[in-house]
């Protein structure tokens, strides 16, 4: 139980650290937008925006569409979170720190160190079975919470994997739409 708590704390700290240290500025103009949820039929099949399970090919693109803006939709947020989960399972530090940049910056500002150092510790705290499960994890759109069109919460219960993740194992994440992409900010 103590190791799981430490993993949760370390992951949350890393996310907060990554978010602030290497993330983009917040987008403007989202305050007047109203949240909307795409119909279930439009979410039935999720296209993969994540890299394959093979070795990373260098620094990831800030947007999975090769420089094009990522949609400010639930599907866009889910794809980005899946990219993070799969990278966490592969120990792909570049992708993890890129997606969690804004949260990692916050953690660094609180004294936890740079994202790469903090996540190196997190990787050691995740069991091999959990890493394997994260590599193919999906996200249940019915279990996420849309706060605004630019802010979506991903609880651990939304993660579908071969192992169950609790708040202590994985934690909840907030993704925000910043500079044409989704980033973990909390």
Q: Where are the domains of the chain?
A: 2-27+60-184
Which residue do the tokens 């071969």 mark?
A: 162
Under a CB-based contact definition with an 8 Å cutoff, are residues 13 and 173 in contact?
no
> For 167-185, what is each residue's pLDDT tens digit?
988 999 999 999 999 999 9
Tokens of 163: 């192992």
Model-level pTM?
A: 0.66
| Cβ atoms of residues 82 and 138 within 8 Å | yes
Confidence of residue 70 (pLDDT cuts 50, 70, 90): confident
Distances in Å between the Cα of 180 and the Cα atoms of 48, 72, 120, 185 are 18, 8, 28, 15
CA distance 101 to 118: 12
Tell me how far apart the alpha carbons of residues 75 and 57 are, in angstroms, rounded to a whole number: 24
Rounded Cα–Cα distance for residues 144 and 139 (Å): 8
Q: With left for phi above 0 and alpha for psi between -120 and 50, is residue 39 left, alpha or beta?
A: beta
pLDDT tens readout for residues 88-139: 999 999 999 999 999 999 999 998 899 999 999 999 999 999 999 999 999 9
């Amino acid at each position: 139980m103590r190791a799981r708590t430490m993993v949760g704390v370390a992951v949350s700290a890393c996310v907060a650290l990554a978010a602030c240290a290497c993330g983009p500025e917040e987008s403007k103009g989202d305050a007047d937008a109203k949240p909307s949820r795409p119909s279930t039929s439009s979410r039935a099949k999720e296209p993969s925006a994540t890299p394959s399970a093979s070795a990373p090919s260098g620094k990831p693109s800030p947007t999975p569409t090769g420089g094009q803006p990522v949609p400010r939709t639930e599907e866009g947020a889910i794809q980005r979170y899946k990219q993070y989960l799969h990278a966490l399972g592969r120990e792909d530090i570049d992708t993890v720190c890129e997606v969690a940049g804004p949260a990692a910056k916050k953690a660094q500002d609180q004294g936890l160190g740079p994202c790469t150092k903090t996540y190196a510790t997190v990787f050691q705290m995740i069991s091999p079975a959990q890493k394997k499960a994260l590599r193919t994890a999906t996200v249940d759109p019915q279990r996420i919470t849309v706060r605004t069109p630019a802010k979506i919460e991903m609880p651990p219960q939304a993660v579908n994997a071969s192992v169950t993740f609790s708040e202590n194992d994985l934690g909840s994440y907030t993704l925000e739409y910043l500079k044409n992409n989704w980033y973990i900010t909390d």
